[in-house]
Amino acid sequence: MSRIKLVFNIVVVACILVLGIFVIVKKQNESCSGIRIAIDYSGNKKIVDEQEVLSLLENNKIKVVGIKMKELQLDEIQQLLSNHPYVKECKLSRSGSQLSINLQLRKLLIQLFPQNGNSCFIDWDGNKLPFSSKVNEKLIIANGHIPEFNSGTDQINKQPQLIQDLHTIAKTIVEDTVCQSLYAQLYVNENNEIELIHKEGKTNVLLGNCSNIDEKFFKIKEFNLSVLPTIGEHQYKMIDVRFQNRIIAKK
């Protein structure tokens, strides 16, 4: 009786294996019936949309629909989409008889206007991105005496210290609700020092650079929340927070 049970179990397992192999082979030989595209973006309007993805595939002569699933050029599709400057991550998977494309787009932080160059964007992770008219976000604006990017790399950590400081300061502003409500522009003056320009034309801030940045932003918030309501919003044109334990107000 136990021998019969053993033989039965072996037959059942064998059938399951054969069925599984049959299903896999059948799926591999199925033709792709369509493309599902999911785009993850935290902004107002997608910088890369579904139509652009389809156009990229078509322009690079990569056919998907009607091609056997096992013959899809997944590596080429992965590389093509991952190389798009606004794509942070690309994941491909098979969903039934369809190809699923999941894209995560970069989070933009700054629109940069170099002194002698073209406008560009910098994302949250510190990557320089080419200008795109599709961008419709309220970003931190950085302008003034800003140097050109070093050629050969788009990474912030390999750029002049001033550009790295702009990135750090912009992140600090966006992460703080008080500062975000007050400032949306960074200006680099002729001394290569960074100023925060008030949104409503009130008191600007001479920040200098990123040294002691936590203390500087503490003083900025204290001045705006505690001092200005007492003395009046238009008493001073600028405050200087470059020096430790001091705020210098300038009319």
Q: Decide: 45 and 105 in contact? Cβ < 8 Å.
A: no
Query: Would you tell me how many other CB atoms lie within 10 Å of the CB of residue 216?
Result: 24
Compute the distance between CA of residue 227 and CA of residue 242 in angstroms, rounded to an integer.
18
Predicted local distance difference test score (pLDDT) of residue 152: 73
Closest-CA residue to 213 (of 225, 203, 205): 205
Predicted local distance difference test score (pLDDT) of residue 11: 53
Predicted local distance difference test score (pLDDT) of residue 58: 95
The full 3-state SS of 32-90, as one line of letters, equals CCEEEEEEECCCCCCCCCHHHHHHHHHHCCCCCCCCEHHHCCHHHHHHHHHCCCCEEEE
- Give the domain 108-250 fold: Rossmann fold (3.40.50)
Predicted local distance difference test score (pLDDT) of residue 5: 60
| Per-domain boundaries in the chain | 34-105, 108-250
* Interval 5-63: pLDDT, tens: 655 555 555 555 544 444 444 454 688 999 999 999 988 888 999 999 999 999 999 99
* Interval 131-190: pLDDT, tens: 999 998 899 999 999 988 877 778 888 889 999 999 999 999 999 999 999 999 999 999
DSSP 8-state assignment for residue 156: G
Residue 100 scores a pLDDT above 90? yes
- Give the domain 34-105 fold: Ubiquitin-like (UB roll) (3.10.20)
Query: Would you tell me how many other CB atoms lie within 10 Å of the CB of residue 134?
Result: 12
Predicted local distance difference test score (pLDDT) of residue 4: 64
Q: Decide: 241 and 216 in contact? Cβ < 8 Å.
A: yes
* Interval 198-233: pLDDT, tens: 999 889 999 999 999 999 999 999 999 998 888 877
